Amino acid sequence: MRVATLGSGSRGNSVFVECGQTRFLVDAGFSGSEIARRLELLGVLPDSIQAIVVTHEHRDHTAGIGIAARRWNWPLYLTPATERACAPLLRGSETVLHYEGEVPFDLGDVRVHPSSTCHDAADPVALTILDPDSGLKVGVATDLGRATTPVRNALAGCHFVVLESNHDEIMLRESPYPWSVKQRIGGSRGHLSNRLAADLAVDLLHPSLGGFLLAHLSHECNAPDAAVSAARSRLSRKGYRGVVDVALQDSPSPLYDVAALVDVVRNGGPQLRLFG
Ligand SMILES: [Zn+2]
Ligand SMILES: [Zn+2]
């Protein structure tokens, strides 16, 4: 399995997943031309993508879903409530395939497990993606107000996790945002802080966990170094030697080969750092 973010943050999110012949995006919060440009940077042709799985309707995850579905005939996987909330983006000519929270479904060669999250959207989910052949499992978990028990259970055993690390709690507190916005971001239906992301990352540790890609960083209330050091300091105390990187807003991440990352941690190799 290979995974990359096309970009991540409040100005757009999309995750590319490849497993054998199966290629799809989780969310598409960029314009059609920007999706094509970023896929090209990863060496991926849009015509080789088979679908978009949409986690929730917020525009930073859906801005491009309608145009991409119409331009490249990509089916959209949506829950019914998310489809209703995305109505302004859709014209009726798109192929929509419904899924339900907590009900796994097959997409090409992989099994996708959606688990409901605590976030201020109609029917938001985090996803795990399982390759039944290799047993490799990838998690995509952003826009988490709090990591609920179902989300923790779903992420358990993942070999690579795209994990929200949205804000530094002190930077948020001292930011010029109005009180109501601070409450929304830091609240139980908002976004996960660096501290809570590190807590969750430690809980998810197991000997074959190859990497964390910290995502959905706030531009105003976070910094890549702050997010990485919050997670890495906690994880290294537990003996973790895998990747801890950050997904940036304006450029794709490296394309992570999950099996190779797992090999490194299993064989006790030196820390493989692909970012920066
Ligand atoms: Zn978001
Ligand atoms: Zn959201």
Q: Which of 21-35, 79-93, 162-176, 256-270 has the lowest mean pLDDT?
A: 256-270
Using the mean position of ligand 1's atoms as its centre, give its distance from the Cα of residue 14 in Å.
10
- With a cut of 90, say whether residue 272 has pLDDT above it: no
Q: In Å, what is the CA distance from 8 to each residue of 15, 60, 97, 139?
A: 8, 9, 25, 15
Q: How far is the CA of 263 from the centre of ligand 2 (A)?
A: 33
pLDDT digits (tens, 9 = 90+) for 254-264: 999 999 999 99
Please report the pLDDT score of residue 185 as a whole number: 87
Determine the distance separating the centroid of ligand 2 and the alpha carbon of 124, expressed in angstroms.
8
pLDDT digits (tens, 9 = 90+) for 137-181: 999 999 998 999 999 999 999 999 999 999 999 999 999 999 999
* Domains and their CATH numbers in the chain: 2-266 (3.60.15.10)
Q: Which residues surround ligand 2, an ion (CB under 5 A)?
A: 58, 143
CA nearest to 169, candidates 112, 218, 131, 208: 218
Q: Give the ligand with the smallest distance to the CA of 10.
A: 1
Mean pLDDT of the chain: 95
| Per-residue model confidence (pLDDT) at position 55 | 98
- Predicted confidence (pLDDT) per residue in 230-241, tens digit: 999 999 999 999
pLDDT at position 28 is: 98
Ligand located closest to 121 CA = 2
In angstroms, what is the span from residue 270 Cα to ligand 1's centroid?
33
pLDDT digits (tens, 9 = 90+) for 196-223: 999 999 999 999 999 999 999 999 999 9
Ligand 2 centroid vs 36 CA: distance in angstroms? Answer: 23
Q: Which residue has the tokens 């990359």?
A: 4
Residues with CB under 5 Å of ion ligand 1 are 60, 143
Q: Distance from the CA of 267 to the center of ligand 1, in angstroms?
A: 35
Q: Which of 109, 111, 14, 6 is nearest to 59 (CA)?
A: 14
Find the mean pLDDT for residues 88-92. Answer: 97
How would you classify the pairing of strands 22-26 and 52-53?
Answer: parallel
Report the alpha-carbon angle 151-235-150, nearest 5. 10
What's the CA-to-centroid distance between 142 and ligand 1, angstroms?
7
How far does residue 178's CA lie from ligand 1's centre (Å)?
19
Structure confidence at residue 276 (pLDDT):
39
**Phi, psi dihedral angles at 83 (to 5 degrees):** -60, -45
Confidence at residue 270, expressed as pLDDT on a 0 to 100 scale: 52
Output the pLDDT for position 82.
98
CA of 69 to the centre of ligand 1 (A): 20
Locate 4 and state its tokens: 């990359």
Three-class SS of residue 24?
strand
